[in-house]
A = this chain, B = another copy of it.
Amino acid sequence: MTGADLVVLSNRGPFSFSRDKNGELVSKRSGGGLASTLGPVLQKIKTTWITAAVTDTDREAVQGASQETVGHASDIQAVTNSFGQTVLKTLILDPARYSMAYDVVSNTVLWFCLHNLFDPVHQPHLDCHFTKAWEAYREINRQFAASAANEAAEDAHVLVQDYHLFLVGSFLAELRPDLSITHFTHTPFCSPQDLGYLPDPISKELLSAMFSYKACGFHAKRWEEAYKSCCRELLEKDPNQTFVAPLGPDINYLNQTVASSECTDAYSRINKLAGGNRLILRVDRIEPSKNILRGFLAFEEMMKTRADLREKVVFLAMLYSSRQQLAQYISYKAEIETLVKRINDTWSTKNWSPIILNIQDNHVHSVAALRAYDVLLVNPIKDGLNLIAKEGPIVNSNNGVVVLSNQTGAFEELKDHVIEVNPFDITQTAQALANGLDTGITERKQTAQALKSLISQRAANGWFNDLLKVCSL
């Protein structure tokens, strides 16, 4: 049997597509960092990477590109392109079914469950419509599995990525018992209580599917432990093999970006924008799990309790929109804008406005801002890893301090060199921001150096090498 020695499955591919103002298709490196992480390693192994066309524009783009084949592997339409030495196979899935799986199950129910974002009095709302959406999710997972079964060489390794594809394992193990199939969860994994939000047959189906993998990986020990507790309490089984392999930043890519003239220009503009004030920064997707509202409230409490810091600090929030097809994300964005206006209206003086809200999606500008911060605020409710907490110290040139939520995967690695916060504690976060600003230059230098050196020890390919090691065991 010919085929790929390594098959990678992920919902989103290395590029996403949109149309520019002239109506031309333009491609963009996808968020998530998987592409740059895998890039260097994939050149050594015969790899097929299977993804889905996420948007209508993606579907159009992959079908219109220099494609080698439009085939029907089993019953699934797919387009094959090459991406470096890797074969990139994009599944063209039924848009209505894909939307139920992606928008309803993955991004509304599973994401909210795994990050503890439900308002339990009102959400989740699991009725007969959800049952249908779950059937769509199951079918999309089956189609990924069928495609992988078709692509993999005998005894190949299969790496299944993330919560969109939890169920692939049970289908694929049945189709191809020769394969060595590993799953990696990039989000947190939740406690048995939180998984209990799902209907009992569904939480059991999910865990049973995870149980069918040779191994399940997580970014942090706490998510691994949560998964094990779920196996024990809800499945009443000892867990299968698990491992912890935190992702690192793509340091070469970051250094190249910092060195670019676009980044240098943006850095100048940001310094001008800060207007000689000290700089608190956050860089985030507009996402409820990021706890953006409490970040602003903490900053306001700091201004209340530390009059000496008023007119001396600005809070720059570099945010970018996402999932604007979901009601929760539209209203969360509006809440952010309303709160920022209210705080600025309350505290602004003639020459100073405390919060600068910058909503755009520009990676280079974000990197430029990371160069400049005095304090970087990373306070998620829960976060599988949080790569910004690792990228910030790599590019920062200001001996900046990191205020980090103890509910992030990255906290496990970085805790000795950051200011810890409980993300729900606004008062503690306010004090942490002030402490960050108060830290003396000698301590800042030492801490920044220690963070940078710790993070550099485990760059992006460390994660992927760990995954390959687990596969080969």
Contact = CB atoms under 8 A, between A and B. Distances in A.
A199 B124 contact: no
B121 A199 contact: no
Contact of A191 (B118, B193, B426): B193
Given A127-B301, A193-B193, A293 B427 contact: no
Contact of A121 (B119, B124, B422, B426): B119
Contacts of A72: none
Interface in A373-422: 381, 422
Interface of A: 116-122, 124-128, 130-131, 191, 193-194, 196-200, 288, 291, 293, 297, 301, 304-305, 332, 381, 422, 424-428, 430
A193 B193 CA distance: 10
Most buried by B among A118, A293, A332, A430: A118
B125 A426 contact: yes
Contact of A332 (B118, B121, B191): B121
A120 B128 CA distance: 26
A293 B291 CA distance: 27
A424 B198 CA distance: 7
Given A116-B193, A120-B381, A121-B288, A128 B424 contact: no
25 contacts: A116-B120, A117-B120, A119-B119, A119-B122, A120-B381, A120-B424, A121-B288, A121-B332, A122-B293, A124-B424, A125-B426, A126-B427, A127-B426, A127-B427, A128-B301, A128-B304, A128-B305, A131-B427, A191-B193, A193-B193, A197-B424, A199-B422, A199-B427, A200-B422, A200-B425
A167 B79 CA distance: 65
Nearest 4 pairs of A and B residues by beta carbon: A119-B119, A127-B426, A121-B288, A199-B425
Contacts of A120: 116-119, 381, 424
Contacts of A424: 120, 124, 126, 196-199
A125 B297 contact: yes
A277 B33 CA distance: 60
A127 B297 contact: yes
A191 B193 CA distance: 8
Contacts of A119: 118-122
A121 B291 CA distance: 7
Contacts of A304: 128
Contacts of A126: 424-427
A288 B424 CA distance: 21
A450 to B, nearest CB: 24
Contacts of A425: 126, 199-200
Given A121-B332, A191-B191, 13 more contacts: A117-B121, A120-B381, A121-B288, A121-B293, A126-B425, A126-B426, A130-B427, A191-B193, A193-B193, A199-B422, A200-B422, A200-B425, A200-B428
